[in-house]
Structure 1
Amino acid sequence: MKFVPSIFIALMAIGLMTSCSKGGKTVSSTTGWNYNDPANGGFEYNYGYEQQTGPGLVFIEGGTFIMGRVEQDVMFDWDNKPRRITVPSFYMDESEVRNVDYLEYLFWINRVFIESREVYKKALPDTLVWRRPLAYNDPYVENYLRHPAYSEYPVVGVSWLQANDYAAWRTDRVNEMILIDMGIIDGESLKSQLGENNFNTEAYLYGQYPVADGKRPLTKLDDSKTPRRVTWEDGIMLPKYRLPTEAEWEYAATALIGNTMDERMSDRRIFPWNGHIVRNSDKKEQGKMMANFVRGNGDMMGTAGKLNDQGDITVPVKSYYPNDYGLYCMAGNVNEWVADVYRPLSFDDVEEFNPYRGNVFQTKVLDEEGIPVEKDELGKVRYRTEAEKDILNRKNYRTADNINILDGDRSSNIVLGDAWLDNEANTTNMYGGSSNSNMNSMITDRTRVYKGGSWRDRAYWLSPGTRRYLDERESRDDLGFRCAMIRVGKPVQGEAK
């Protein structure tokens, strides 16, 4: 289902503005009081809520699958041992984020943060990733991001941190557009947004903006009909766009929904398609490549007159056939960032349901009335820093749940105090106290997983079970990303009952 604002508005209007709820749910079975009745206090109950599919997203019905290696581990890393898990339903971008998508983001930043040029510079992709000492790639430095010939190609040169910033920006723009389409806020406000005075979803929900300046504001369900803000309980705004977890990405890429009948699975998959080969087996398309990758030494796209994948570098994001979830280029083209912190033994440590490594629990800085004390220079709600972590001086992989569980050890909540040396307080130095100062680990809390294979990779990396890692501040010419979103409510689409 595609995101259609007019349908979305109609559904919300039915759920919020009528005195009757779907299915005859007009009376509380607990108190006997009427729902959505001004005479009874105006308690609102949006019965039958169904989450809408946000712009660019595809619904991914969750389930159980065996995450990890499906072929021999030719790299001998032993970091993707097979393990059965369950992934809840969620949403994922149909394709990788395009250059034109990222240029829209840069345009908005340039327009809003006129006096804060550092914000714009921080968001710029590193176009120098294309340079090679012994290759003539300089034209891509100048052209790949901004020339219209590459508008539909995946954005590259974006770090993990930049990808997260883009997802946060996209969340705010989508929710802002929803409120504008519904007439709750005035679209003219777009022109006056400057600096920190821009629409932010969290800041709006916490009362940082006027109650209503649109033509059709929501009103309190009482005799006063006083305009009110949209709340999270209304179900109007969408959840956050974000990077998918490693488990979500691998589950969506494998797309075993095409290989199941009832609860029986006919075959596992090495790639996002059936079979052990990388060419199309259908009679009409037989022999055509299923992805953009390196076929052999120096063979990036085949022979003139019959190019095998028609991609010397990347290709447009909707090239080749989508997998059984309708997702394009889940193998090849560009690798993709996922949310997880990399650890070789993640598959031994993480939960069986919705596994993820990377949690750092934070709290918003609120006043006594539960309202954010202030916004930051970007207009975002401030969160408390993790100063407690330094005060307690916990060794990173011995920390308590309420501070940081990047390393997954939740066996102890005790304060370790001075039991560990200062240089052991984080995983940048895994060998604190050693006489050999060079014994440092490359696997830190900044090390993030990426998956999928790319135009520079051999077929081995096209398998969704393979995994590699890179510092979250770095970027490459074969590494992009796509966004995901949680599914609230039941795991199947359709009218809630």
Structure 2
Amino acid sequence: MQASPVCAAGMQWIPGGTYRMGSDDHYPDELSAEAVTVEGFCMATHEVTNAEFASFVKDTGYVTIAERPIPRDQYPGLAEDQRAPGALVFESPAAGAEVTYLSWWHWTPGANWQHPQGPGSDLDGKDNHPVVQIAFRDAEDYAAWAGKSLPSEAQWEFAARGGLMDQVFSWGNTYSVKKANTWQGEFPIHNLEKDGYFGTAPVGSFPPNGYGLQDMTGNVWEWTQDWYRPGHQGMANQVNPAVSQVEQSFDPREPGIAKHVIKGGSYLCAKNYCSRYRPAAREALEPDTGTAHIGFRLVSGPLGPAEATGGMGPPKA
């Protein structure tokens, strides 16, 4: 019997295969594509944590986009006092307040991966939580440092299904509060916290899927390589560097703004809002934007024979 390929520590082998990507039963931007094939690959068991990202920053001196002043050429209409580094932070509306769409997001100067809720917050006791306030470009730079890459959307969705094809969730067809970190109650007013968490949860707090991957549902949204377009038909699985971003990406809600696909939903997804905590679900986000519920995980190829055996010859079957 041939042994499965060996992955680096902290990663799981995903055998690959052909599947129906997306769903025809939920949002229009998920419309399915038949016979999408992915080759076998290794995927991180969990999202990149605060401790792991801190190691990267210590080693490289990296400064995330949320820690940099807003560029003049990108947003020429902003006054100088509006260019301070910052990011988007979620805040539940006050009781009795009028709730309008997206009014729960607030641009917060000083918010970044070390202060995810703003200057008064920190990472004490959260080394093992997923890092957030990470823009796509930050995730790419981390991946390059780690010698790995971000997953394509097809890889991510195939892995999230955990071997269960055409099921609604990573574990089957019935939602369970015990399976993932999501929002319970009426969003955005009150989170009942039946899963034990209001915000992010430590990675691995919920059962793994069939491939041994944790938090592929909820906790934080995860970046993929793909540029966003509604549906999947005719889409390449990888970014094409020969074609401009705007040509590859189209969001009818904001035409002309290039966005990447994010997957998995987050602790802010509820039954009455978003409900995108499903393998087929997807959203779009600009590559220079981080928020309090965006993180990432990595993929790679398997180890070579020498790496897998510590340089002592081919692995045994």
TM class, shorter-length: 0.7 to 0.9
Measure the CA separation in 2 of the matches of 1:142 and 1:270.
39
Instruction: Structure 1: state its 5+ residue gaps.
Output: 1-47, 111-118, 172-240, 260-266, 280-287, 361-402, 407-425, 431-438
Measure the CA separation in 1 of the matches of 2:64 and 2:12.
32
The residue that corresponds to 1:255 in the other structure is 162
Measure the CA separation in 1 of the matches of 2:268 and 2:249.
32
* Structure 1 contact 358–405 (Cα < 8 Å) conserved: no
Alignment of 1:18-417 (within 5 A): 52-69=6-23, 72-73=25-26, 75=27, 77-110=28-61, 119-120=62-63, 122=65, 124=67, 128-130=87-89, 132=91, 140-142=117-119, 146-171=122-147, 241-256=148-163, 259=164, 268-274=166-172, 276-279=173-176, 289-298=178-187, 301-302=191-192, 307-345=193-231, 347-350=232-235, 355-360=236-241, 403-404=242-243
* Structure 1 contact 301–309 (Cα < 8 Å) conserved: no
CA-to-partner distance for each residue in 1:191-229, whole Å, 9 max, x for gaps?
xxxxxxxxxxxxxxxxxxxxxxxxxxxxxxxxxxxxxxx
Measure the CA separation in 2 of the matches of 1:120 and 1:94.
26
Amino acid at match of 2:233: D
CA-to-partner distance for each residue in 1:342-388, whole Å, 9 max, x for gaps?
1224x2213xxxx514121xxxxxxxxxxxxxxxxxxxxxxxxxxxx
* Structure 1 contact 335–453 (Cα < 8 Å) conserved: yes
CA-to-partner distance for each residue in 1:93-138, whole Å, 9 max, x for gaps?
100111111111111123xxxxxxxx53548497642264956998
Quickly say closer, same or farther: Cα 1:428–1:131, change in 2 above 3 A: same
* Structure 2 contact 135–290 (Cα < 8 Å) conserved: yes
* Structure 2 contact 228–249 (Cα < 8 Å) conserved: no
Measure the CA separation in 2 of the matches of 1:429 and 1:103.
32
The TM-score, its normalising length taken from structure 1, stands at 0.48
Instruction: Structure 2: state its 5+ residue gaps.
Output: 69-84, 95-103, 109-114, 309-313
Pair 1:462-2:277 in alignment: yes
Quickly say closer, same or farther: Cα 1:429–1:277, change in 2 above 3 A: closer
The residue that corresponds to 1:448 in the other structure is 260
Bigger relative contact order, structure 1 or 2, given CA contacts below 8 A and separation 6+? 2
Amino acid at match of 1:246: E
Quickly say closer, same or farther: Cα 1:428–1:169, change in 2 above 3 A: closer
Secondary structure (helix, strand or coil) at the match of 1:130 reads strand
Q: CA deviation at 1:442?
A: 2.5
CA-to-partner distance for each residue in 1:287-342, whole Å, 9 max, x for gaps?
x521111223147652xxxx510011111011110001111110111111111011
Deviates more, 1:78-87 or 1:100-109: 78-87
Quickly say closer, same or farther: Cα 1:59–1:300, change in 2 above 3 A: farther
Amino acid at match of 1:349: G
Measure the CA separation in 1 of the matches of 2:90 and 2:31.
32
Quickly say closer, same or farther: Cα 1:330–1:300, change in 2 above 3 A: farther
Quickly say closer, same or farther: Cα 1:484–1:120, change in 2 above 3 A: same
* Structure 2 contact 170–209 (Cα < 8 Å) conserved: yes
Number of residues of Structure 1 aligned to a counterpart in Structure 2:
270
Higher helix share: 1
Measure the CA separation in 1 of the matches of 2:25 and 2:249.
32
Quickly say closer, same or farther: Cα 1:127–1:450, change in 2 above 3 A: same
Q: CA deviation at 1:441?
A: 5.4
The residue that corresponds to 2:78 in the other structure is none
Quickly say closer, same or farther: Cα 1:246–1:428, change in 2 above 3 A: closer
Q: CA deviation at 1:486?
A: 2.7
Identity %: 26
Q: Of the two, which has the highest radius of gyration? A: 1
Higher strand share: 2
